[in-house]
């Protein structure tokens, strides 16, 4: 304990004085000794004595802490580290040392930050503006001085390391020893080079087995390295040269102004500039589950943490290995993939088969040896032993060891890994990035997919196609519709509508390199901004954006289902704007702008008329968004309220169904997979989209989240199997549905999601599928598969490959068990009856090479076919080796043993073989027949 604390102390405080170190050691030692004493006393039953000692220790403990505090204060006062700027930093014009700025953020040093002058002063020292961001021309110099935003990775393993690993197999080592002894005895008895043939043959076989195994493992490691690079492709939005743009986190430099919103990953260490309700999840660094509220008082943001709620801007101060995350990565070695459930199951199968093989090997060796000794005794040669006899015994031992090599199916885990790695590589080409190996095999068993609507079933390219303003409905089809809307709408209503669109948004209109307008933001917000621009408003030049002051913001999230903003007017007044789910916003309104543009009361009958319009829009598969405002006349500090608003407009946003989705859903249904849509949209919109996709069928149930929440456990058992659409759902509704499907009904559930709110359901599901385009980093982090094109058709490909993996491994297991049974039985019974084994050590090693490596490569990498989707999904807990597989294994084994038995026991007579080499010729024929029989067994479907 003392050493650890002292080491941390010395790391935190550069060059502490001797006196300070002495005090520190004294304080730590004192505390350590008395803690130990108190723990000992606390275990005793003498409460009075313990209490007295406790009081004394408390006093001494307090003194020790004062000593420690004094030592720290002494160091802070007299030994504060002074960072001297190097000539390189000064020549570049920067005014702060890289280590100094890193230590301020990493140590959450508010005092030093305030002494320097806050974030504005830090920005000036870094030669940036908190609004404009970094100048593109200075990026190279920033990277040279402050570093690149990359982490030192564990060096990849070389090919020779995989060769060395393959050579560590115990049975191969025993065979190598046997080969060397065989060469020595062979040269002594038969001379050079004839005496080396058997031994060299074994060595060459071992060499080929090792090389093929090493090549397979090495290629697999290269595939995983490519997949790891894909997983780390994260993009963020920054300000550079006064323009907002999207860049990779690896291109982040010190001084960048980064925009953060819910679900983003903090790309580097930095300082908070501005924002609203910014909650950061620091559990990846601190282990604390409670989120941290970031504001001017707590302005420090750390790399690797995630935005749980809110939005804000940060100034990047530290990148790469200087960040807190980088320091942590230095102490960690990234582990490999955990074994998948199928690999674990097959490892158990391999162990049992290996034990059976060991038993057969020992019995074969004992039978051959006993028979040989008995024959020598019968011939009166027991007392005389020659080198030929020793060589025969060595051959018996080599055969026994080789039986173990063949019997131990080390190719099973290899086949699984190869099949999964091959599937992962192919799926990456098909726009699906598999983050966890087990997802491939599990997806083949999926019996239910709970899918999101927006961006998965639909294109996620939203456009306002209909609007209801001043109690008038109109289609929006380009500039002509916009001109018509402006003509029939009063200037006051149009002005307040544009304020509601442009003030209450987290999106932004920026100019690209070609000078064209580009909207950065969520699809829904982008559609509203595009609608505002269509009405003739200029985002940058619009007066409200420059003159009006934003006082407070409540960002959109899946629980509130609305976004609100409080705006300070130029005349000193305050106005609130709110937009969001139509039913929620309508309940907050008690006034409406009528057909004359006047603000009038909104009684129940008028509200019912608005609800009818909302339902009419929704039945046309439009996402409905309401916009409202409220004048705030409070003299004290105003807050955003949830009532008293004036209804401005209703807009209908069209998000077309993706091409091919309907066919993909029908394919899933035919494959025995139930599709359920879980969305936050209006139930009429959800039902319209579900019908268009062919998802909502006769007898299927569409339910709203609040109704689902109110169901009792008994009702859920009856209702859940019929649910096909769940609308207006909260994150916990989705999580509850997934949990019940898995636990109550034993379903293997896949879940798609794109937001931070989907993370609980993605974790709970058997397979989590996150959207690569619309998905937040939090959703991707909690997912097993990332759908790079956000397309439901890609999910069907994942299912198909998952089933292919499962069936390919079944083929390989069936093939290998057949080979094992035949090889073990024919050698054992031949040894018992004839005293010799027809399959020699070299031949068995070649069989092992074909079976465990080349067989795995051939069978485990077979691509999927459409017939796989006509099979039902594999049930949870189903036996891996099925009844048809046992039938094929037993049938093939009997058929092969009959052929090989006839050849072995009566082959010379049937084939007319005679002479000194008749046995060798017969054994060669037996071996070739054995190999060709396996080719046939490999072609049988399980």
Which residues are annotated as catalytic? 452
Closest CA to 179 of 450, 394, 330: 394
Q: Can you name the residues that pair with 578 across neighbouring β-strands?
A: 564, 628
Closest CA to 271 of 282, 258, 284, 261: 258
CA distance 702 to 351: 49
CB neighbour list of residue 531: distance below 8 Å, 6 or more residues apart: 464, 467, 476, 501, 651
Rg of the chain over Cα atoms, rounded to whole angstroms, equals 37
Closest CA to 574 of 649, 494, 635, 502: 635
CA distance 705 to 727: 6
SS3 of 71, please? helix
CA distance 184 to 942: 47
CB burial string 411-446: b at 16+ within 10 A, e below:
bbbbbbbbbbbbbbbbbbeebbbbbbbbbbbbbbbb
**What are the two backbone dihedrals, phi and then psi, of residue 681, each rounded to the nearest 5 degrees?**
-75, 170
Are 95 and 66 in contact, with CB atoms under 8 Å apart? no
How many C-beta neighbours within 10 Å does residue 514 have? Answer: 6
CA distance 527 to 509: 12
Q: Per DSSP, which regions of 219-291 are E strands?
A: 235-240, 243-248, 257-261, 269-281
CA dihedral in degrees (61, 62, 67, 69; nearest 10)?
120
Q: How many helices (H) and strands (E) does the chain have?
A: 35, 26
CB burial string 622-639: b at 16+ within 10 A, e below:
bbbbbbbbbebeeeeebe
DSSP assignment of 626-677, as one string?
A: EEEEEEE--SS-----SS-EEEEEEEEEE-PBPTTHHHHHHHHHHTT-EEEE
Are 145 and 96 in contact, with CB atoms under 8 Å apart? no
**Tokens describing residue 491:** 């200037």
- Under DSSP, the state recorded for 264 is P
Closest CA to 406 of 807, 879, 805, 826: 826
Closest CA to 625 of 641, 658, 649, 593: 649
**What are the two backbone dihedrals, phi and then psi, of residue 186, each rounded to the nearest 5 degrees?**
-65, -40
Closest CA to 721 of 744, 698, 690: 744
CB neighbour list of residue 429: distance below 8 Å, 6 or more residues apart: none
CA distance 99 to 109: 13
SS3 of 436, please? coil
- Under DSSP, the state recorded for 851 is I
Closest CA to 769 of 792, 742, 744: 792
Residue appearing with tokens 């007295």: 52
CA distance 499 to 493: 10
- Omega prior to 164 cis, within 30 of 0: no
């Amino acid at each position: 304990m003392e050493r650890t604390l002292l080491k941390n102390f010395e790391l935190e405080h550069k060059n502490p004085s001797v006196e300070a170190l002495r005090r520190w050691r004294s304080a730590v030692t004192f505390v350590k000794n008395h803690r130990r004493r108190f723990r000992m006393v606390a275990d005793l039953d003498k409460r009075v004595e313990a209490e007295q000692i406790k009081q004394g220790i408390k006093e001494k403990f307090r003194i020790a802490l004062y000593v420690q505090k004094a030592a720290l204060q002494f160091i802070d006062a007299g030994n504060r580290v002074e960072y001297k700027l190097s000539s390189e930093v000064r020549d570049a014009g920067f005014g702060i040392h890289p280590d100094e700025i890193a230590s301020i953020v990493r140590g959450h040093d508010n005092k030093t930050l305030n002494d320097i002058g806050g974030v504005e002063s830090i920005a000036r020292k870094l030669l940036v503006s908190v609004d404009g961001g970094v100048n593109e021309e200075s990026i190279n110099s920033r990277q040279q001085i402050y570093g690149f935003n990359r982490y030192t990775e564990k060096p990849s393993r070389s090919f020779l390391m995989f060769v060395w690993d393959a050579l560590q197999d115990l049975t191969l080592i025993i065979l190598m020893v046997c080969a060397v002894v065989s060469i020595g005895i062979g040269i002594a008895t038969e001379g050079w080079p004839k005496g080396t043939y058997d031994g060299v043959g074994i060595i060459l076989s071992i060499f080929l087995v090792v090389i093929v195994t090493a090549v397979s493992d090495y290629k697999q490691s290269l595939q995983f390295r490519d997949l790891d690079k894909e997983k780390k492709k994260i993009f963020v939005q920054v300000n550079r040269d006064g323009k907002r743009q999207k860049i990779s986190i690896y291109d982040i430099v010190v001084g960048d102004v980064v925009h953060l919103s819910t679900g983003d990953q903090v790309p580097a260490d930095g300082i908070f500039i501005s924002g609203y309700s910014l909650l950061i999840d620091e559990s990846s660094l601190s282990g604390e589950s409670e989120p941290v509220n970031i504001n001017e008082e707590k302005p420090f943001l750390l790399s690797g943490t995630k935005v749980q709620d809110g939005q804000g801007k940060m100034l990047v101060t530290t990148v790469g290995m200087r960040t807190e995350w980088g320091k942590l990565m230095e102490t960690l070695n990234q582990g490999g993939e955990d074994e998948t459930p199928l690999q674990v199951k097959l490892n158990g199968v391999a162990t049992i088969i290996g034990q059976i093989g060991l038993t057969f090997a020992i019995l074969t060796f004992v039978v051959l040896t006993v028979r040989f000794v008995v024959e020598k005794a019968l011939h009166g040669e027991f007392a005389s032993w020659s080198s030929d006899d020793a060589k025969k015994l060595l051959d018996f031992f080599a055969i026994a060891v080789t039986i173990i090599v063949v019997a131990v199916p080390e190719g099973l885990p290899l086949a699984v890994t190869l099949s999964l790695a091959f599937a992962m590589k192919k799926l990456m080409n098909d726009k699906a990035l598999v983050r966890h190996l087990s997802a491939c095999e599990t997806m083949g068993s999926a019996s239910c997919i709970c899918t999101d609507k927006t961006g998965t079933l639909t294109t996620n390219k939203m456009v306002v196609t209909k609007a209801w303003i001043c109690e008038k409905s109109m289609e929006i089809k380009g500039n002509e519709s916009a001109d018509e809307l402006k003509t029939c709408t009063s200037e006051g209503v149009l002005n307040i509508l544009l304020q509601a669109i442009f003030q209450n948004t987290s999106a932004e209109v920026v100019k690209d390199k070609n000078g064209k307008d580009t909207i950065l933001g969520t699809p829904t917000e982008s559609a509203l901004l595009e609608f505002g621009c269509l009405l003739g408003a200029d985002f940058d030049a619009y007066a409200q954006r420059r003159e009006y002051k934003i006082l407070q913001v409540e960002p959109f999230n899946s629980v509130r289902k609305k976004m609100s903003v409080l705006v300070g007017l130029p005349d000193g007044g305050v106005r609130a704007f709110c937009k969001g789910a139509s039913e929620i916003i309508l309940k907050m309104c008690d006034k409406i702008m009528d057909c004359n543009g006047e603000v009038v009361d909104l009684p129940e009958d008028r509200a019912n008329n608005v609800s009818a319009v909302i339902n009419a829009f929704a039945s046309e598969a439009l996402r409905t968004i309401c916009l409202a405002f409220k004048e705030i006349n409070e003299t004290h500090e105003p807050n955003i309220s949830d009532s008293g608003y004036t209804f401005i407009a209703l807009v209908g946003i069209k998000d077309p169904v993706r091409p091919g989705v309907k066919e993909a859903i029908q394919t899933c249904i035919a494959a025995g997979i139930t599709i359920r849509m879980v969305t936050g949209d209006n139930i009429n919109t959800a039902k319209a989209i579900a019908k268009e996709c062919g998802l909502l069928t006769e007898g299927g149930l569409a339910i709203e989240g609040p109704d689902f929440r109110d169901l009792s456990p008994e009702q859920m058992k009856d209702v859940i199997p019929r649910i096909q659409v769940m609308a207006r759902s909260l994150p916990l509704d989705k999580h509850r549905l997934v949990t019940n499907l898995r636990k109550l009904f034993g379903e293997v559930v896949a879940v798609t999601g794109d937001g931070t709110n989907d993370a609980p359901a993605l974790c709970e599901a058997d397979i989590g599928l996150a959207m690569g385009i619309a998905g937040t980093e939090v959703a991707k982090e909690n997912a097993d598969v990332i759908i790079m094109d956000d397309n439901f058709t890609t999910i069907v490909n994942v299912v198909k490959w998952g089933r292919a993996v499962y069936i390919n491994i079944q083929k390989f297991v069936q093939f290998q068990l057949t080979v094992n049974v035949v090889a073990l039985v024919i050698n054992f019974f031949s040894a018992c009856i004839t005293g010799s084994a027809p399959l020699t050590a070299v031949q068995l090693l070649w069989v092992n090479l074909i079976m465990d490596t080349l067989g795995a490569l051939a069978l485990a990498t077979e691509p999927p076919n459409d017939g796989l989707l006509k099979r039902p999904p594999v049930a949870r807990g189903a036996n891996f080796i099925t009844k048809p597989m046992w039938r094929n294994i037993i049938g093939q084994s009997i058929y092969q043993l009959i052929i090989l038995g006839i050849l072995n026991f009566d082959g010379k007579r049937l084939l007319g073989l005679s002479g000194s080499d008749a046995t060798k010729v017969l054994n060669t024929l037996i071996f070739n027949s054995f190999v060709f029989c396996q080719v046939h067994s490999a072609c049988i479907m399980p």
